[in-house]
C-alpha cells in the first residue's frame, strides 16, 4: 500500500470513528451539563428547564438523564410540542420545594407532548409532610388544592415505568385531556392519614392503563373523574388508602360520561373502600357511568368492599339534597374474594331519579373479618338497584 493510500485510509477511518462518537452523543442531555447539582440543597429548576428546552428542539429520540443524587426542584413545566420523542431517564431522586408560596398549582407539569417515556428507577419525593397541615379541603367545599406532584396535560403516547413516588402534597399523579398512556411497574407511597394524596387521578382521558404496580396512600389508590373512556387497571396492589374509585361525578356542570373501565387481578389490603362508584347528590350535570368490569379482585380486610354511593357528600355544608342525576348502568362484579371488616358487604345506594341498571354480582365470596364476631349478621343494602346475582354469591346479595 502506498503512503498516499495509507493516509487516505487512515483519514477515512478517523472520520468514521469520529462520526460514531458524535452520533452517540447526539440526543443525550445530562442535567449536570446544564448546571444541576444533586446535593439536595441547590435549586435545579433552571437547569432542568434548560435541558428540556434543548432536547425538545431535536428531531428523533432524545434522552434527558438525571443521574444519581438528590435534586431540589421548584414548580417546573416541561412543555411541548417537541420535535421528537422525549425520554426522561430518572436515576436520582427529585425533591419538591417545601416553599408553598412558590407554587401556582402543580410541581412537575408535562404539557402538549406526543411521545414521552419516563423511567430509570428513580424517585419523585413531594415532601408533603410540610404541607399537609395546610390542607383545608375537609373544611371548605371549594378549597384551594395543594400542589400535585406529576401532571400530564394534553399528553399522547406516553409510558411511565419503573419509578416511584412518595409523600405528594396532594395527588401524586394527575392525568388530564390525555390519551394512550401506560403506567407500568410504578410504586406510590404516602401515610394512610395523609390528606388527598390520591395515587393516580384520571380525568377527561382515554386509553389509560395502570399495570403491575403498588400504591398505598391516604386517599384513593386510583380515582377516575368525568370524561374518561377505555381505562384498564391490571395487577395493582392497593393499600393503605380508599381503594379504586370512580368519581365523585356530577359535582360540576358540563361533566362528561365515564365509559369503559376494567379492574382485573388486583389486590386491596386494609383499605376503607374496595371498588367504589360515587356521585354527588344535587348533581349539577346529567351524565352516565357505564360498561364497568371488576373481575378477579382480592379483598384483604377491606372495610367497604363493594359500594355505590349516589348520595355522596364529604362536607357538612353540601349545597342541597336533591337526588343525583348520574345514570349508572352495566356494572359487573365477578370473582371477588377475600375478607371485609364492616357488616355490609355490598352497599349499593342508587338514585331515585336515575336508578342503577344492569348491576351484576357473580361468583363472589367475601367473609366477615371484623372483631365483633357477628359474621351471621353480615348483610347487603340495595336502594334503587336493578340487576342480577349469578353463581355463588356470599354474603347473600340484595339483587
Q: Which residues are catalytically annotated?
A: 219, 242
User: What is the gyration radius of the CA atoms in the chain, in angstroms?
Assistant: 25
CA separation for the pair 334, 349 (Å, rounded):
19
Contact criterion met (CB below 8 Å) for 256 and 225 = no
Contact criterion met (CB below 8 Å) for 47 and 34 = yes
Whether the link from the prior residue into 103 is cis, omega within 30° of 0, is no
Cell of 124: 419523585
Q: Cell numbers 346475582 correspond to what residue?
A: 389
Count of C-beta atoms within a 10 Å radius of residue 375: 12
Instruction: Provide DSSP, 168-191.
Output: -SS-SEEEES-EEEEEES-EEE--
CA separation for the pair 333, 236 (Å, rounded):
17
Q: Cell numbers 398549582 correspond to what residue?
A: 105
Contact criterion met (CB below 8 Å) for 158 and 182 = yes
Helix (H), strand (E) at residue 346: strand 344-349
Contact criterion met (CB below 8 Å) for 88 and 62 = no
Which 3-state string (H, E, C) describes 51-119? HHHHHHCCCEEEEEEECCCEEEECCEEEECCCCEEEEEEECCEEEECCCHHHCCCEEEEEEEEEEEEEE
Cell of 346: 355490598
Burial of 351 (0-12, 13-18, 19+ CB in 10 A): buried
* 3-class secondary structure, 299: strand
Cell of 5: 493510500
Amino acid at each position: 500500500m502506498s503512503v498516499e493510500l495509507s493516509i487516505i485510509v487512515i483519514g477515512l477511518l478517523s472520520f468514521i470513528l469520529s462520526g460514531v462518537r458524535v452520533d452517540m452523543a447526539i440526543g443525550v442531555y445530562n442535567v449536570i451539563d446544564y448546571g444541576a447539582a444533586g446535593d439536595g440543597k441547590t435549586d435545579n429548576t433552571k437547569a432542568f428547564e434548560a435541558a428540556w428546552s434543548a432536547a425538545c428542539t431535536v428531531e428523533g429520540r432524545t434522552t434527558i438523564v438525571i443521574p444519581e443524587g438528590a435534586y431540589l426542584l421548584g414548580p417546573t413545566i416541561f412543555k411541548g410540542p417537541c420535535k421528537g420523542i422525549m425520554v426522561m431517564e430518572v436515576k436520582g431522586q427529585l425533591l419538591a420545594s417545601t416553599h408553598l408560596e412558590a407554587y401556582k398549582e402543580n410541581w412537575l407539569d408535562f404539557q402538549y407532548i406526543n411521545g414521552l417515556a419516563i423511567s430509570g428507577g428513580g424517585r419523585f419525593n413531594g415532601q408533603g409532610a410540610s404541607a399537609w397541615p395546610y390542607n383545608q379541603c375537609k373544611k371548605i367545599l371549594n378549597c384551594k388544592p395543594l400542589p400535585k406532584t406529576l401532571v400530564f396535560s394534553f399528553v399522547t403516547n406516553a409510558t411511565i415505568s419503573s419509578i416511584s413516588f412518595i409523600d405528594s402534597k396532594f395527588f401524586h399523579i394527575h392525568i388530564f385531556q390525555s390519551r394512550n398512556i401506560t403506567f407500568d411497574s410504578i410504586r406510590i407511597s404516602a401515610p394512610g392519614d395523609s390528606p388527598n394524596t390520591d395515587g393516580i387521578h384520571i380525568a377527561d382521558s382515554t386509553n389509560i392503563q395502570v399495570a403491575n404496580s403498588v400504591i398505598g396512600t391516604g386517599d384513593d389508590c386510583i380515582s377516575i373523574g368525568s370524561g374518561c373512556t377505555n381505562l384498564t387497571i391490571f395487577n395493582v396492589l392497593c393499600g393503605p388508602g380508599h381503594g379504586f374509585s370512580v368519581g365523585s361525578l356530577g359535582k360540576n356542570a358540563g361533566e362528561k360520561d365515564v365509559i369503559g373501565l376494567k379492574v382485573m387481578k388486583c389486590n386491596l389490603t386494609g383499605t376503607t373502600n374496595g371498588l367504589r362508584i360515587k356521585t354527588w347528590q344535587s348533581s349539577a350535570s346529567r351524565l352516565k357511568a357505564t360498561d364497568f368490569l371488576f373481575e378477579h379482585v382480592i379483598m384483604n380486610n377491606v372495610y367497604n368492599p363493594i359500594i355505590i354511593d349516589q348520595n355522596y357528600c364529604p362536607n357538612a355544608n353540601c349545597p342541597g339534597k336533591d337526588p343525583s342525576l348520574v345514570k349508572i348502568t352495566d356494572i359487573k362484579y365477578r370473582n371477588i374474594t377475600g375478607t371485609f371488616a364492616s357488616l355490609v358487604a355490598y352497599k349499593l345506594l342508587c338514585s331515585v331519579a336515575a336508578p342503577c341498571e344492569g348491576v351484576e354480582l357473580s361468583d363472589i365470596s367475601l367473609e366477615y373479618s371484623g372483631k365483633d364476631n357477628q359474621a351471621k349478621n353480615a348483610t347487603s343494602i340495595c336502594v334503587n338497584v336493578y340487576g342480577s346475582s349469578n353463581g355463588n354469591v356470599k354474603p347473600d346479595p340484595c339483587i
